[in-house]
């Protein structure tokens, strides 16, 4: 197992840090990041054992001084230059870190709290997040607000001392194990849809918060739906302020796409795994197969280079930019190509296996799970729009109703649906997860 060579000109302090980190990771006896460690866990549901292991490892990482490297000291971090995050990423890239369940909190909620939280909020939540004491989730998508995230309907109504929350969220990763969640909610429907939003820090154990698993075609329930029934959230847990919800959400979304376009893709299987499978079946010598294997090898290299670009942007002090969208799009295509080609190489073993083999169903699970990445973190179609408009400078899509109140938009939408006989409205009061939403398919329109 080899890590990346240290860059020329690395300072003595950075080199010493790298050596200490490498030794610590070696002593931790982690599984290698070659895709095999994730076999059989592609669609695994979170359980207490996995949560305990993730928290214990994060706690040990923090105690050793390797967590929150570039976070400010006042936020519980070490206040080191961005270069140290890059060193950590390089050294940890060869291992399967057992902290995936904490990724939403550390990679998405944490940066949002740092950017928009009050001093009291940062002091309360960031240190415990870095230590792995608490798990966080992201409460964004709804049955009728997936591709158009700003159309969320779940309400936060002002009451003495705080907010009363009602509504539903879907496709939430880790809700059943989370302690807290960042919820994007509608606080003022009289304003245009982007302006009448609020982001709240929700206690997932509070009265009125109900979590239900969502069964997927893999047979597992990796995601959850969350129902709010008069759940109370105090004023101290408002992030930003009323009307700042969309600004906070964009920070979360930018960091989400970087996360989805990084190691998330490689945990779904690597080119090396498919090549090994092809060799085992005697296919690697076939010219057509060699071409297909070369293509996924190149695709994986592109993802790694885009990830490196994102790291270098962070080193320069930049916020997540278009490389996050590019990486996410490349990752979703790669995962689907790897799962399909790997299953073809495995042949009948991909659809029938020895039940005593704990990893026998790995390619079947990968095939079923792979399409989800095309909608997680923003659908591929939405991400293409982001790239076209913000990277290539193409004309933006018409912003229909940008200055119209959300109440009026809903009324106009209802009239359009009623005038279309082929449309079927969801029954009043229905809790079914139906409608126009897609899992995690968030737009920034």
Identify the helix (H) or strand (E) that includes residue 286: none
Give the bridge partners for 239, in sequence order.
Answer: 199
Give the bridge partners for 192, in sequence order.
Answer: 405
Task: Please name the residue that has the structure tokens 């996410």.
Answer: 328
Query: Rounded to the nearest 5°, which phi and psi values hold at 19?
Result: -65, -40
**How far apart, in whole angstroms, are the C-alpha atoms of residue 265 and residue 51?**
21
Among residues 144, 256, 300, 444, the one annotated as catalytic is: 256
Q: How far is CA 171 from CA 1, 27, 29, 323, in A?
A: 36, 37, 33, 25
Please count the other Cβ atoms lying within 10 Å of the Cβ belonging to residue 421.
6
- 202 three-state secondary structure: strand
**How far apart, in whole angstroms, are the C-alpha atoms of residue 400 and residue 356?**
56
> What is the DSSP secondary structure assignment for residue 381, as one 8-state letter?
H
Among residues 437, 299, 300, which one has the least CA distance to residue 375?
A: 437
- 238 three-state secondary structure: strand
Structure tokens at 59: 């706690």
Structure tokens at 146: 């997936």
- 158 three-state secondary structure: strand
Cβ–Cβ under 8 Å, residues 220 and 43: yes
Task: Please name the residue that has the structure tokens 């649906």.
Answer: 417
Cβ–Cβ under 8 Å, residues 129 and 418: no
Q: Angle 287-315/83-92 helices, nearest 10 degrees? A: 150
**How far apart, in whole angstroms, are the C-alpha atoms of residue 106 and residue 310?**
17
Angle at 211 between CA 152 and CA 257, to 5 degrees: 50
Please count the other Cβ atoms lying within 10 Å of the Cβ belonging to residue 19.
12
Structure tokens at 50: 């996995």
Identify the helix (H) or strand (E) that includes residue 27: helix 12-27
Active site annotation includes 397: no
Give the bridge partners for 159, in sequence order.
Answer: 162
Structure tokens at 395: 């004309």
Query: Rounded to the nearest 5°, which phi and psi values hold at 186?
Result: -90, 120
The residues annotated as belonging to the active site are 256
């Amino acid at each position: 197992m080899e890590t990346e060579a240290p860059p020329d000109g690395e300072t003595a302090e950075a080199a010493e840090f790298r050596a200490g980190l490498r030794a610590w990771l070696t002593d931790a006896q982690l599984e290698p990041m070659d895709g095999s460690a994730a076999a059989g866990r592609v669609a695994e549901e979170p359980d207490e054992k996995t949560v305990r292991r993730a928290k214990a490892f994060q706690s040990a990482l923090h105690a050793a001084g390797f967590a929150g490297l570039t976070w400010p000291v006042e936020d519980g971090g070490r206040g080191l230059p961005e270069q140290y995050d890059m060193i950590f990423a390089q050294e940890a890239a060869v291992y399967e870190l057992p902290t995936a369940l904490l990724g939403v909190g550390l990679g998405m909620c944490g940066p949002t709290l740092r950017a928009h939280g009050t001093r009291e909020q940062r002091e309360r939540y960031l240190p415990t997040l870095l230590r792995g004491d608490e798990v966080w989730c992201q409460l964004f998508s709804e049955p009728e607000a997936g591709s158009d995230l700003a159309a969320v309907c779940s309400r936060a109504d002002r009451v003495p001392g705080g907010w009363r929350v009602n509504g539903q969220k879907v496709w939430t990763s880790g809700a059943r194990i989370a302690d807290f969640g960042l919820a994007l909610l509608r606080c003022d429907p009289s304003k245009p849809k982007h302006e009448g939003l609020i982001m709240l820090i929700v206690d997932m154990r509070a009265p009125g918060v109900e979590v239900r698993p969502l069964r997927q075609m893999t047979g597992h329930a990796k995601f959850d739906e969350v129902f709010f029934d008069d759940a109370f959230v105090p004023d101290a847990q408002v992030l930003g302020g009323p009307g700042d919800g969309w600004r906070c959400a964009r920070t979360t979304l930018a960091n989400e796409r970087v996360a989805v376009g990084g190691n998330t893709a490689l945990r779904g299987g690597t080119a090396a795994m498919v090549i090994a499978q092809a060799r085992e079946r005697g296919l690697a010598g076939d010219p057509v197969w060699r071409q297909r294997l070369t293509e996924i090898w190149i695709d994986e290299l592109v993802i790694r280079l885009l990830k490196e670009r994102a790291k270098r942007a962070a080193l320069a002090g930049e916020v997540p930019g278009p490389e996050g969208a590019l990486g996410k799009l490349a990752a979703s295509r790669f995962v689907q190509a790897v799962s399909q080609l790997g299953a073809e190489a495995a042949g009948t073993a991909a659809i029938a296996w020895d039940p005593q083999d704990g990893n026998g169903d790995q390619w079947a699970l990968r095939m079923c799970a792979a399409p989800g990445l095309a909608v997680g973190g923003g659908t591929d179609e939405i991400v293409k729009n982001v790239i076209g408009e913000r990277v290539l400078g193409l004309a933006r899509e018409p912003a229909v109703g940008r200055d119209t109140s959300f109440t009026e938009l809903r009324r106009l939408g209802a009239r359009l649906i009623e005038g279309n006989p082929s449309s079927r409205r969801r029954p009043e009061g229905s809790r079914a997860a139906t409608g126009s939403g897609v899992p995690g398919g968030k737009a920034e329109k």
